Amino acid sequence: MAGLKEIRIRIASVKTTRQVTSAMKIVSAAKLKKAQDAIYQIRPYANKLHGILASLSAGLESSDDSVYTQQRDPEKY
């Protein structure tokens, strides 16, 4: 059977571990929030870029003489 001193040491150890775990949860929540905010801020840019690329690709499909749709041989240096 464990003595009173060993039990007190164990209780203190568990409390310390609980504090460290709580601090790690807070830090991870802050990092997640920061990442989510970055994603929300970039969303309008991504939507606009998608629209631009969609309109470009639609324009290229209708044009067979475009410089961008011509088949080329790879250049050898």
Sorted by sequence, the CB contacts under 8 Å of residue 50 that are 6+ apart come out as none
Q: What is the pLDDT of residue 6?
A: 93
Q: What is the pLDDT of residue 32?
A: 98
Task: Give me the residue spans of the domains in the chain.
Answer: 35-59
3-43 residue pLDDT tens: 999 999 999 999 999 999 999 999 999 999 999 999 999 99
**Rounded Cα gap, residues 68 and 58, in angstroms:** 13
Tokens, residue 27: 């830090």
Q: What is the pLDDT of residue 72?
A: 79
